[in-house]
Amino acid sequence: MGGFNSGRYGGKQQCEHSLALDVRIMARKGLLKAGSRFTWTWLNKSDILILASGDYLTLQYAFNGGALCSYPVHLTQTPCYYGGQRVWFACPHCQQRTAKLFMKRGRFACRTCHRLRYHSQALDPMARLQWAYSRLQNRLAEDDCKPKAMHWRTFERLHDRLEDINIKIDREFNLRAGAFLRRCGIDWE
Ligand SMILES: [Zn+2]
């Protein structure tokens, strides 16, 4: 039986901290075949029982110790560029195609319906730039050098983006420093 310890977090909920169902992982594992029945478990030990019936899934779970609820989520398909079909959830709330459904207050819906934001979107402009910078930097070798396996063209593109972000960080820093100095009564361009 599916159950949730808690699907809620303080403040505005972010995607990375949400309990999500990913249809791509289910498809890859062959779990969407009609008649399939499986338990989907999250890191916080919450779990949910899922029954596949061809063009829809039935989700069964109890939220925060409440009554067992059970409702269907429809699946849709679009043709793949390389042949075959790609499967999507139809969001139970807006019916839009989505690869992921998120749990909030006991209900599953797409990111837009739940008004979830990614970690980067929750940050202020400076923190967002620094976050983007460190993410790019993580792809490079030490001292921002080219990792052995990386193509030169990819490396150059990454480097251009790093420089671009660096310029934006400088600009943001100057704006803030300027505002601070003006508040202190110091004349600054
Ligand atoms: Zn939706």
Query: In the predicted model, what is the mean pLDDT of residues 87-112?
Result: 91
**Spacing, Cα 11 to ligand 1 middle (Å):** 21
Predicted pLDDT of residue 4: 57
Tokens 């990375």 identify what position? 16
Same domain, 56 and 30: yes
Instruction: Kindly state the percentage of the chain with pLDDT values over 90.
Output: 40
Same domain, 38 and 71: yes
Same domain, 94 and 38: yes
**Spacing, Cα 102 to ligand 1 middle (Å):** 10
Full residue range of the structural domain in which residue 22 is found: 15-109
Same domain, 59 and 133: no
Query: In the predicted model, what is the mean pLDDT of residues 17-24?
Result: 86
> What is the domain count for the chain?
2
What is the SS3 string spanning 49-96? EEEECCCEEEEEEECCCCCEEEEEEEEEEEECCCCCEEEEEECCCCCC
**Spacing, Cα 151 to ligand 1 middle (Å):** 39
* Burial status of residue 1 (CB atoms within 10 A of its CB: 0-12, 13-18, 19 or more): exposed
**Spacing, Cα 94 to ligand 1 middle (Å):** 4
